[in-house]
Amino acid sequence: MKLTRTDLMSLEQYSVDRKEFRTKVLDHKRDRILTVGPNTSWSFEDRLTIQYQVQEMLRVERIFESHGIQDELDAYNPLIPDGSNWKATFLIEFPDAEERRVKLAQLKGIEDRCWVQVDGFERVFAIADEDLDRENDEKTSAVHFLRFELTPPMTAAVKSGMDVSIGVDHDSYAHEVRPLPKSIRDSLAGDLRPAS
């Protein structure tokens, strides 16, 4: 379910509740963030993580007018899963700037080689960066937004407790997590609607 203005705290209320809300979100995110190999992390988004992002943007930018709030909601709502998919922020992390420049050139196309797999089913590769193209002729970006669209039998299998794996299958970066820790798998299962 998408966020609306009525789901958000006012700037004044958020300043009062921010510390407690932030703690709640960070506890929640522990079961939604995973490193895959030494240099990528996946942060699976949901309604709560996106609400936090919106609240933080409104706070930092001091946005309190209704059209500005709606602009932020319009930008972030597409990152909330729809019940048949998972959505993730994918980060490529190289602390050294020169190494990062070289590696991002080598990793062109990596966002299209990210996958999830429900045991007993084929891999599902990411639909990447639907908001804007984050790659150019020279390099990929360090940040990508991924969507993994699951079939009804896959969602039913996840809801019934089937293991899930994730990974990257790129010529210059091939790593996987097989299977996901139960706490992460269970959190992601909560993003899916039961098959009808």
pLDDT of residue 3: 96
Q: Do 160 and 74 fall into the same domain?
A: no
Number of Cβ within 10 Å of residue 52's Cβ equals 20
Q: What integer best gives the mean pLDDT of the chain?
A: 94
Q: Where are the alpha helices (DSSP H) in the chain?
A: 11-29, 47-61, 66-76, 97-106, 152-159, 182-189
173 close to 40: Cβ distance less than 8 angstroms: yes
pLDDT tens digit sequence for 93-132: 999 999 999 999 999 999 999 999 999 999 999 999 876 5
Q: Do 173 and 139 fall into the same domain?
A: yes
pLDDT of residue 56: 96
Q: Do 107 and 156 fall into the same domain?
A: yes
134 falls in which pLDDT band (50, 70, 90)?
low
CA distance 17 to 4: 19
Q: Could you list the residue range(s) of the whole structural domain that residue 14 is in? A: 1-30+47-80
Which of 80, 105, 139 delimits the end of a domain?
80
Q: Do 40 and 3 fall into the same domain?
A: no
Coarse DSSP helix, strand, coil percentages of the chain, rounded to the nearest 5 percent: 40, 20, 35
Q: Do 73 and 112 fall into the same domain?
A: no
Which CATH number is 173's domain given? 2.60.40
CA distance 109 to 125: 12
pLDDT tens digit sequence for 25-36: 999 999 999 999
pLDDT tens digit sequence for 56-88: 999 999 999 999 999 999 999 999 999 999 999
Q: Do 76 and 87 fall into the same domain?
A: no
Q: Do 102 and 193 fall into the same domain?
A: yes
Which letter does DSSP use for residue 38 in this model? Answer: S
Phi-psi region of 19 (alpha: psi -120 to 50; beta: other; left: phi over 0): alpha
Whole-model pTM over 0.85: yes
Which letter does DSSP use for residue 116 in this model? Answer: E
Q: Do 51 and 109 fall into the same domain?
A: no
Q: Do 74 and 89 fall into the same domain?
A: no
Q: Do 72 and 113 fall into the same domain?
A: no
- For the cut 60, the answer to whether the pLDDT of residue 141 exceeds it is yes
Q: Do 163 and 179 fall into the same domain?
A: yes
- For the cut 70, the answer to whether the pLDDT of residue 135 exceeds it is no
188 falls in which pLDDT band (50, 70, 90)?
very high
Q: How many domains does the chain have?
A: 2
Q: Do 195 and 135 fall into the same domain?
A: yes
